[in-house]
Amino acid sequence: MRRCCGLVTLKNEPVPLKGISVQLKVQGFVADVCSTLSYENSESSPVEAVFVFPMEEDSSVYDFHAEIGGVKIQAEIREKQEARDTYDNALSSGQQAFLLEESDESRDVFRLSVGSLPAGQKATVCLSYVTELAVEADGALRYCLPAVLNPRYTPAGAQSLTTPVSGASGEPVPYSLSFSAHLASPIGVAQVKSNCDLTSLEYLRDDKTQAQVSLSPGHKFDRDVELLVYYSHPHQPTAIVEGGLASATPGSLMGDPLVMVSLYPEFPAAASTPQSSCGEFIFLVDRSGSMGCPMSNEKAEPKRIQSAQDTLLLLLKSLPLGCFFNIYGFGSHFEAFFPESVEYTQQTMDSALGKVKGMGADFGGTEILEPLKDIYSKACRPGHPRQLFVFTDGEVGNTKDVINEVKKHAGTHRCFTFGIGEGASTALIKGMARAGSGHPEFITGKDRMQPKVVQSLRFALQPAVNNIVLNWDVPAGLEVVPVSETPKVLFRGHGSILYAQLKGKFDESAVGRASLQYSLGDEPHKTEISFKLQLDKHTGLTTHRLAARTLICSLEEGGSVEGEGGDKEKVKERVVKISTEARVISTHTAFIAVNKDLNQAVQGPLIQRNMRPQMMHYSSMKRMRMSSGGFGAFAGSQPRLRQHCMVGAGCRVSLLQLPNTAANQCGETGPDKEDPMLTLISLQKADGSWELNESLVSVFEKKEQEAISKMPAEVSDKAVWATVLALLWLHSFRAELKEEWEFLAMKALSWVKAQAGASLKPCLEAGNSLLGCKVEPQTLAL
């Protein structure tokens, strides 16, 4: 089949999308993005172009305009049905029109209709949005420009957001992407990384508080563009005070100044280690057909289900003895490994790992709601707080129903989510984690999966943070009205952005303070910041737009209007009012732009075209018109070429594969390429120990007999000697990956101390001699 990209006809005719330009401005922990898409209708008939595209779930679209034939058409934001009617009326009367709307079901899906573009005419469409930036495990801020919208599975009887389509992938797209970023932070820009080639980072000030960087020229938009921004002092809290909109009503959200406070608390080291073996861990794993797709279109890339299997193995090896666990697989139906959660022992771990090896992407569609209900229907174990880990490629159509189900049970279940592969729905992954007071992670590109998995486990095992209180201290005559809720949960390495409205007498020479107080165990802690009430001149209305989006999301997720309770119509009216005043799109509003200067009707029949992704393993496209009730069956933008997740000497090997399959997995022949650290992890027992055998000592590049001959006379248990050797090897030869194996090592060290007593010192000396390393006793806390 001939491959077609982008805007296509039913006959797979070429795309009129000619180029994309993106300008990114990062200010502290938020980003302001302006995207420009250039089209050209090179055909003999006018065209209606339909482009469905993904965006980060917490993005706030605030501006939209188009330019045709040198005429700029500025969009207005209106109630959604009114905007749709205006668009239809404009097309019926032969006018040019543009409609931008957010999906009713998922906040990370947008649909742009380019209406009645005359033959031979060029059009430029510009949209701007602001978004909060996620904090990665290593402290980096992550911005992602998605290049694909995966088809979303929709339960029977519901309306589809996207349509699976056929087509080969991996070929170059016929247009380029221009991307530049301006970075600003009072705590200093340290470095920038990306999965794409960048120009050199250029500092604009000597104190490194401002910098700029761009994609290398000629970049083809064939993958996500991921930018990782590292600050010099990431844990230093920051505050920005922004003036209101002069034309807005005083006292309104847009009329008053707002303060945005970014807090990234650094917990004491003791708080980062698990304090007990309590907990019930339930792993909910997507086994739908889409999980059989590869993580990337590159050669020999593993499938998504394989990445989920790897994730499960690492988690199962890292769990503490004495906890409880269970594993669910879900698709069109669901199955649990055990009828009820079981205690974590060697026997149950081995049983679970055996079943994990047999997991496939063979369960049909992505029905996540029913297994969630089954999990929530079972009573929690006293003294063992339930932690839910969800692994999915995020391709569901009933996102809001799923999030609402999680939210209903947030008091007894925490929810940690993993988006597997590029194109996972940010609305689903972030929404479930937010509703369940957990943490979301996305496993894409060159990311090592292990640190992200262990970070979430670390969060789940952390002692509870209680008594969270946010206090404001401002001069007399000034009132602070919080816009965002005080965080319900705090994690080490997890930032919070808080918004508040400043009402009353405003003195720019005065100083305000914000303090976040909480208890960790029995110890009180505080993160505090002082800030001048001086208005920042460089933010535009970024803070106001993000605050408006926060308030809109709170209302849409079940909030109530003061004095009206949860009346849906009153809530909708309130959302529409905030949305139109702030010019921030919502589920109930849309941007509409009509070229009112066009004096004559466009001649010729109108052709509709749909932008669509090129996904493998799907049937041919079924073209459907959008009904007045919501999104029809439309597909998205171009496929992303995901990067290899590399281990060892450049070959990605599943933890669950046998060694002799490694070469085949990488599309190579010759010697095995399995990563020795992953082999070591797979050999650890549930109690933290290792057995002394040929498989283990081969990791050390030794023979079993040689290891036995070097065992100290004081040690009678070969397992003690083997476990010490494994710990020494990790600390000496994989020290840079400590964040991945630290839980395994903690469990091993506890076991060996309980077994060995006074014989640890000779074990340490003999182990260093055998392995050729120099690990000091204090390194192992001896």
| SS3 assignment for 474-526 | CCCCEEEEECCCCCCCCCCCCCEEEEEEEEECCCCCCEEEEEEEEEECCEEEE
Check pLDDT > 50 for residue 382.
yes
Cα separation, 780 vs 141, whole angstroms? 32
* Predicted pLDDT at 512: 92
Check pLDDT > 90 for residue 83.
yes
Structure tokens at 38: 């250039």
Q: CB neighbours of 604 closer than 8 A, spacing ≥ 6?
A: 44, 45, 46, 119
Pairing of strands 324-330, 342-343: antiparallel
Cα separation, 449 vs 418, whole angstroms? 10
Check pLDDT > 50 for residue 645.
no
Check pLDDT > 70 for residue 773.
yes
Check pLDDT > 50 for residue 183.
yes
In this prediction, residues 277-306 reach a mean pLDDT of 81
Q: In 10 A of CB 622, how many CB atoms?
A: 10
Cα 678 to Cα 644, 652, 659: the distances in Å are 17, 11, 11
Mean pLDDT of all residues belonging to the chain: 77
* Predicted pLDDT at 628: 28
More confident residue, 112 or 471: 471
* pLDDT > 70 fraction of the chain, expressed in percent and rounded: 78
In this prediction, residues 67-84 reach a mean pLDDT of 88
More confident residue, 418 or 139: 418
Check pLDDT > 80 for residue 612.
no
Do 398 and 155 touch, CB atoms closer than 8 A? yes
In this prediction, residues 14-22 reach a mean pLDDT of 70
Candidate from 109-113, 303-307, 393-397, 569-573 with smallest mean pLDDT: 393-397
Cα separation, 698 vs 347, whole angstroms? 25
251 backbone dihedrals φ, ψ, rounded to 5°: 95, -15
The alpha carbons of the chain give a radius of gyration, in whole angstroms, of 28
2 backbone dihedrals φ, ψ, rounded to 5°: -70, 135
Handedness of CA 676, 677, 682, 688 (dihedral sign): positive
Give the residue from 396, 398, 405 showing the smallest Cα distance to 377.
405
Do 399 and 437 touch, CB atoms closer than 8 A? no
Range picked from 298-307, 557-566, 675-684, 704-713 for highest mean pLDDT = 704-713
* Predicted pLDDT at 117: 73
* Predicted pLDDT at 1: 29
Band of residue 247 on the pLDDT scale cut at 50, 70, 90: confident
In this prediction, residues 498-525 reach a mean pLDDT of 86
Band of residue 105 on the pLDDT scale cut at 50, 70, 90: low
Band of residue 137 on the pLDDT scale cut at 50, 70, 90: low
* Predicted pLDDT at 701: 93
* Predicted pLDDT at 727: 94
Range picked from 9-13, 210-214, 450-454, 532-536 for highest mean pLDDT = 210-214
Over the stretch 384-424, which tens digit does the pLDDT of each residue have? 888 999 998 876 767 888 888 998 887 778 899 988 877 77
Q: CB neighbours of 231 closer than 8 A, spacing ≥ 6?
A: 139, 141, 185, 187, 188, 189, 190
* Predicted pLDDT at 374: 93
Cα separation, 267 vs 586, whole angstroms? 36
Check pLDDT > 50 for residue 756.
yes
Which helix H or strand E contains 123, and what residues bound it? strand 122-132
More confident residue, 311 or 342: 342
* Predicted pLDDT at 236: 80
Pairing of strands 413-420, 440-443: parallel
Over the stretch 678-703, which tens digit does the pLDDT of each residue have? 889 889 999 999 999 999 999 999 99
Band of residue 667 on the pLDDT scale cut at 50, 70, 90: very low
Band of residue 206 on the pLDDT scale cut at 50, 70, 90: very high
Cα separation, 348 vs 536, whole angstroms? 58
Q: What is the pTM of this model?
A: 0.66
Cα separation, 16 vs 33, whole angstroms? 23
Band of residue 575 on the pLDDT scale cut at 50, 70, 90: very high
* Predicted pLDDT at 174: 56
Structural domains in the chain plus CATH codes: 6-237+585-612 (2.60.40), 275-461 (3.40.50.410), 675-780 (no CATH)
Candidate from 105-109, 235-239, 346-350, 757-761 with smallest mean pLDDT: 757-761
* Predicted pLDDT at 5: 34
More confident residue, 495 or 359: 359
In this prediction, residues 182-206 reach a mean pLDDT of 91
Do 182 and 26 touch, CB atoms closer than 8 A? yes
Could you tell me what percentage of the chain is helix, strand and coil, using 3-state DSSP and rounding each to the nearest 5?
A: 25, 30, 45
Do 279 and 382 touch, CB atoms closer than 8 A? no
Candidate from 78-92, 152-166, 185-199, 275-289 with smallest mean pLDDT: 152-166
Helix (H, G, I), strand (E, B) or coil at 570: helix
Do 117 and 49 touch, CB atoms closer than 8 A? yes
* Predicted pLDDT at 501: 94
* Predicted pLDDT at 669: 30
Check pLDDT > 50 for residue 364.
yes
Band of residue 440 on the pLDDT scale cut at 50, 70, 90: confident
In this prediction, residues 206-210 reach a mean pLDDT of 92
Check pLDDT > 60 for residue 593.
yes
502: amino acid identity, one letter = L
